[in-house]
Structure 1
Amino acid sequence: MQCPKDKQVKLVDSTFAKNLSVKHCPDCQGSWIPADEYQSWQARQPQQQVEPQMLTQSVNVDFVQSPFDAKAALCPDCQHYLSRAKVHFRTPFYVERCMYCGGIWCDKGEWDVLAELGLHTQVAHMFSPEWQMRAREQELAEKERQATIDKLGPEVAAMVFKLADVLEKHPCGEFGVAYLMRRFDN
């Protein structure tokens, strides 16, 4: 079985934590997780709800995006193109999956980030349109938050965020928002 990213290199047997058998590329350091191995490993793991907000967690993983991440690839098992799901992490990356046989490709370091975030047991979920839409919304909200901090400074931005939370929870919060908008219309 050849590496989907570096087709000249043969994959070798390896394992991830907790006895998950994978095929590893000694050159690019990526790993192929066969669907049957992943499914049997996944069935032994505690099930947890996964949400795109998990991507904003602070994790202790030194991650540098692989130069092979942008490279399209074919499934090493069945030769279909691998689908890509963007992981909107601090340094975004793509996890790849064969939609025909269900195998998963992780470039170097990607599995470690998924495991640290608690997403490694639900990789297929990340390929759903709902997940991708919610992840994009989360990413946009984080960018908007950072833009607010950049424009107003951290102290004023903190007050704005606190006021927004208060008004959002208040039964007449929209009245407060309308008041502020009228103040700025003049």
Structure 2
Amino acid sequence: MRCPKDNNSTLIDRTLDGGLAVQYCPSTEGQWIRDQEYRAWLENQNAEPDATLVAQRLTSLEFDPAAEDLKAALCPECGHYLTRAKVMTRKSFFVERCGKCGGIWCDRGEWEALQMLGLHTRLDELFSGEWQTLVRERQQSDRQREATIDKLGSDLAGRIFDLAEALKAHPNGDFGVAYLMQQFNKAE
């Protein structure tokens, strides 16, 4: 079986920590995970971390995606296009899956990143509409945050971000938001 990212390289059998059998590319260091192997391995795994813990890990993970992550690929087993699911960390990366046979492709370091995030046991979620909606919402939030920094400067923007978090955490934070809005309405 050929590597989906380097057609000149043949995949070799390998077993990851935890006993997951994969096909490994010595050239790109990527890994092909057959659906049936993943499902069998998944049955023996512990409970998944909760969504809050995963979200915290997403914002703190330091990971540099492989150059091959940007390349489209075909399934090494059945030749269908691999669909991509975006994992947004400080530097986003894509996990790929075959829509026909269900196999998963992880470029160099992605499986380890998924393990650190607690997403390696939740791969089905990455390809769900709900996950993709969350990714788009996070992208929008990141753009708004960058625009706020651009318009107000990093010092004032940082103070506003801190105030927003404090108001969200306070049981009567909505009163603070209402006060600020009232002050802006008076200024007009």
Give TM-score scaled by structure 2 length.
Answer: 0.84
TM-superposed CA distance for 1:174, in Å, is 4.7
Unaligned runs of 5+ in 1: none
Is residue 93 from structure 1 mapped to residue 93 from structure 2 by the alignment? yes
Distance, in Å, in 2 between the alignment partners of 1:36 and 1:149 is: 47
SS, match of residue 69 in structure 1: helix
Pairing of 1:53-68 with structure 2 (within 5 A): 53-54=55-56, 56-59=58-61, 61=62, 63-68=63-68
SS, match of residue 160 in structure 1: helix
- Who is 1:178 aligned against? 181
TM-superposed CA distance for 1:56, in Å, is 3.3
- Tell me if structure 1 keeps the 8 A contact 2:20–2:37: yes
Q: What is the identity, as a one-letter code, of the residue corresponding to 1:91? A: K
Distance, in Å, in 1 between the alignment partners of 2:83 and 2:56 is: 22
Q: Could you list the per-position Cα deviations for residues 99-127 of structure 1 after superposition, in whole angstroms to 9, with x for gaps in the alignment?
A: 22111000111111111111111111111
Q: Could you list the per-position Cα deviations for residues 137-157 of structure 1 after superposition, in whole angstroms to 9, with x for gaps in the alignment?
A: 123323433443454445433
C-alpha spacing 1:50/1:177, structure 2 compared with 1 (3 Å): same
Q: What is the identity, as a one-letter code, of the residue corresponding to 2:134? A: R
C-alpha spacing 1:54/1:15, structure 2 compared with 1 (3 Å): farther
Q: What is the identity, as a one-letter code, of the residue corresponding to 2:144? A: E
TM-superposed CA distance for 1:180, in Å, is 3.2
- Who is 2:5 aligned against? 5
SS, match of residue 73 in structure 1: coil
How many residue pairs align between the two structures? 183
Distance, in Å, in 2 between the alignment partners of 1:130 and 1:70 is: 23
Query: Structure 1 vs Structure 2: percent identity of aligned residues?
Result: 43
Unaligned runs of 5+ in 2: none
Give TM-score scaled by structure 1 length.
Answer: 0.85
Distance, in Å, in 2 between the alignment partners of 1:108 and 1:19 is: 18
Q: What is the identity, as a one-letter code, of the residue corresponding to 1:21? A: A
Distance, in Å, in 1 between the alignment partners of 2:70 and 2:156 is: 39
